[in-house]
Amino acid sequence: MLHLEVLFTPAEFRQLSETDLSGTTCVVFDVLRATSTMLEALGNGAAGIRPAADIPSALELKRLHPRALLAGERDGHRILAALSGDTDFDLGNSPREFTRERVAGREIIMTTTNGTRALHASRGSRSVLIGSMTNLDAVARHLLLQLPERLVLVCSGTLENASFEDTFAAGALVDRLCAAYGESAGSRPDDSAAIARATYRMHAGEGVQVARHARNGRRLAAEPDLAGDLPLCLSPNRWDLVAGLVVDGVVRTLPG
C-alpha cells in the first residue's frame, strides 16, 4: 500500500534521522529559498551542490574541494567573514545570483538556515529529491513513474516553525499525485497530505501573493535587494528537471 505524508516543521524533519528510511523517498522543499536556488544553479549548468549543515562544515568542504564556490546565508544575507571567522562566501542564497556565467561547470558548497539541514536529515532515505514550485511538474512525473511505497514531503519551514510557502508547494505536489496516492487508488494518504493539499487548492494560482503574506516572504519583500526573489521562486515549472542527493552526497541533476 502506498503512503504519502507531509512534515511541516524542523522538529518533525529532525526525527527523520532516527527513522528507518531505507524504503522511503523524501522530497525536500525550501521554496524561499534554498531548493529554488539549487534548481536555478543546476538549471544554469552547475555541476552539483554540496549541502553543508552549518558554516564550519561548509568551510571544511571548501578545504577539501578548493575549486568549489561557497554559497550560503544566515538571516537571509550572504555569509561574510564577520560570521564565518575569516571567509566571505562567494554567493548568498538568492537564486538571481546563480547565473550561468557565474556557476556553469562549477560545484557549489551551500549552507542555509533550514534547507540544507532538511537535506541532511533526509540522507538516510532511499531517494532524496529537490522540490520547489519551479520544478513541480517534473518531480510529479518522476514520482508517478517510480511510485515509491512511502513518500515523505519535507517542508523546511521558517526558523523552527511551519512555513506557508513550503506547505503550499508540498500541497501542489500532493494535488498532482492524488490519483496515485489518494484513497480511491487504494492508497493511504496521511492527514498531513490532506492539509497541505487543501492549503494549495485554497490559494492555487496565487503563489506570489501567498509568499508575500508568509513570514519569510514578508521579510524578503521588505528588503529591496531580496524582494525580486519572490516571483522567481514561485514561478511554476521554470525548470523541467529533477534533482536529487546522490551517493556522493552531492545534489545533482538526475538523468531522464
Residue 256 lies in a domain: no
pLDDT value, residue 58 = 98
pLDDT value, residue 189 = 76
Query: In the predicted model, is pLDDT for residue 185 greater than 70?
Result: no
Residue 39 lies in a domain: yes
Name the grid cell of 226: 531580496
Chain segment 130-151, per-residue pLDDT in tens: 999 999 999 999 999 999 999 9
Residue 181 lies in a domain: yes
Domain total in the chain = 1
Residue 16 lies in a domain: yes
Radius of gyration of the chain (CA): 17
Residue 74 lies in a domain: no
In percent, how much of the chain has pLDDT > 90? Answer: 88
Higher pLDDT, 188 or 221: 221
Chain segment 13-48, per-residue pLDDT in tens: 888 888 899 999 999 999 999 999 999 999 999 999
Residue 176 lies in a domain: yes
**Residue 204 corresponds to which amino acid?**
A
Q: Tell me the pLDDT band of 49, cut-offs 50, 70 and 90.
A: very high
Residue 105 lies in a domain: no
Q: Tell me the pLDDT band of 184, cut-offs 50, 70 and 90.
A: low
| CATH code of the domain containing 138 | 3.90.1560.10
Chain segment 90-123, per-residue pLDDT in tens: 999 999 999 999 999 999 999 999 999 999 999 9
Spatial neighbors of 110 by CB under 8 A, at least 6 apart, are 34, 37, 38, 49, 50, 51, 52, 58, 71, 72, 93, 116
Q: Tell me the pLDDT band of 186, cut-offs 50, 70 and 90.
A: low
Q: How many helices (H) and strands (E) does the chain have?
A: 12, 11
- 176, 140 in Cβ contact below 8 A? yes
Average pLDDT, the chain: 95
- 244, 131 in Cβ contact below 8 A? no
Domain that holds residue 152: 3-44+114-241
Residue 107 lies in a domain: no
Spatial neighbors of 191 by CB under 8 A, at least 6 apart, are none
